[in-house]
Amino acid sequence: MINFTIKFQSGVPIYEQVIYAVKKAIVTEQLKAGDRFPSVREVSKELRINPNTAQKAVSHLVRERLLEIKPGIGSIISELGAATKAQRDKILNDEVEKLVVESKRLSIKKEEVVDAINRGWKLDNKEG
Amino acid sequence: MINFTIKFQSGVPIYEQVIYAVKKAIVTEQLKAGDRFPSVREVSKELRINPNTAQKAVSHLVRERLLEIKPGIGSIISELGAATKAQRDKILNDEVEKLVVESKRLSIKKEEVVDAINRGWKLDNKEG
DNA sequence: CTAGCTGTACTATATCACATAATACACCTG
DNA sequence: CAGGTGTATTATGTGATATAGTACAGCTAG
């Protein structure tokens, strides 16, 4: 069985939506380290997407060290590890900057953004 | 002359990079409301991109109300207006959530993210 | 008025990402 | 051995991206 939630929307690649749904499920502890992750064929069948698309999502998640493969058996959720400097910089510089620029252009106040982050930090996973 | 800065990187569509560079220049007041914006052919020639790609960027900026067209003359930077509810929701829900999820998966602390936002809020435009 | 700028709109071509389909193979487990 | 696992391959179709070249209507400065 699939143990994470997802609701597809157009305009975003399917495999990216799967990756994000899994990330969010892990971060919200809906999926915990050591939990079994459904097989490629299982994901493909339950989400009704192509096996290759499911495989693409899984391989990305492995490369990002969110999943570990047990050959011949299946895959499990990894522990959340520390970030590399490059990863930290990408978030704390590039991604934050994008959010700031978009907020400013829409005349959204800094306090509103910070509030939204405080609110979002204690996440309850409603949809994916 | 081009009055905003940009440094292209691969993996992101050129027209999107142009859009972001202009947004950032406006938000950092490197470009101010009423300033003349270079013509499509000017942008195309100076950035050495195809006129159609430049046109694509400009038309998106017009649709997002960051530029106004003066037919036969050129275009100018618009005033920053208030956001619609949908635009606010997209930033304060979706975009913030993405940032939170990515931060948590890399074990980045909330305080670090908030600090980065405080720092980024007073932007000096180094590159685009 | 004319020349030269402006935005805009076509047609055409090439490349790449995305998604799908259908097989195939090596690995491990029960 | 049978059946599950991840993984790789070939093929097809669609759409976005970027390029090139051409064209036209509108406005302005000379």
Statement: residue B127 has pLDDT above 80: no
State the amino acid at position B7 in one-letter form. Answer: K
Of A65, A81, A78, give the one whose Cα is nearest residue B104.
A81
- CATH classification at residue B25: 1.10.10.10
Residues B31 and B71 in one domain: yes
Based on the fold, state whether residues A22 and A53 are members of the same structural domain: yes
Q: B101 and B73 in one domain? A: no
Q: Does B47 share its domain with B71?
A: yes
Interface of B with A in 109-128 (CB under 8 A): 110, 112-114, 116-118, 120-121, 123
Residue A128 pLDDT > 50, yes or no?
A: no
Are B31 and B48 part of one and the same domain? Answer: yes
- Give the nucleotide with minimal C1' distance to the Cα of B17: D17
Structural domain contains residue A93 = yes
* Test mutation, A12, A121, A122, chain B, max B CBs within 10 A: A121
Question: Which residue range(s) make up the domain with B48?
Answer: 14-77
B30 vs B38: CA distance, rounded Å: 14
Task: Centre a 10 Å sphere on the Cβ of residue A60 and count the other Cβ atoms it contains.
Answer: 16
Give yes or no: residues A61 and A111 share one domain.
Answer: no
Whether residues B64 and B36 share a domain: the answer is: yes
Which residue from A89, A57, A87, A91 is spatially nearest to A75, judged by alpha carbons? A57
Nearest chain B residue (CA) to A114:
B114
Q: What is the model's pLDDT at position B128?
A: 47
Q: Are residues A36 and A56 in the same domain?
A: yes
Q: Average of pLDDT values for A108-117? A: 98
- Type of residue at B22: V
User: Same structural domain for residues A19 and A70?
Assistant: yes
pLDDT in tens, B75-100: 999 999 899 999 999 999 999 999 99
Any domain includes A128: no
pLDDT digits (tens, 9 = 90+) for A82-102: 999 999 999 999 999 999 999
Asked whether strand C has any atom less than 7 Å from the CB of B104, the reply is no
Is the CB atom of residue A50 positioned under 7 angstroms from any atom of strand D? no
- Asked if residue A9 belongs to a domain, the reply is no
For the stretch B39-56, pLDDT in tens is: 999 999 999 999 999 999
Q: What percent of chain A has pLDDT over 90?
A: 86
pLDDT given at position B3: 84
Confidence bin at B1 (pLDDT 50/70/90): confident
pLDDT of residue A73: 87
pLDDT of A123 higher than 80: no
**Number of domains making up chain B:** 2
Which among A107, A110, A102, A118 is positioned nearest to B119, based on CA atoms? A110
Q: Which residue reads 């007073």 in tokens?
A: B122
Asked if residue A6 belongs to a domain, the reply is no
Mean pLDDT of B70-79: 90
- SS3 of B48-113: CCCHHHHHHHHHHHHHCCCEEEECCCEEEECCCCCCCHHHHHHHHHHHHHHHHHHHHHCCCCHHHH
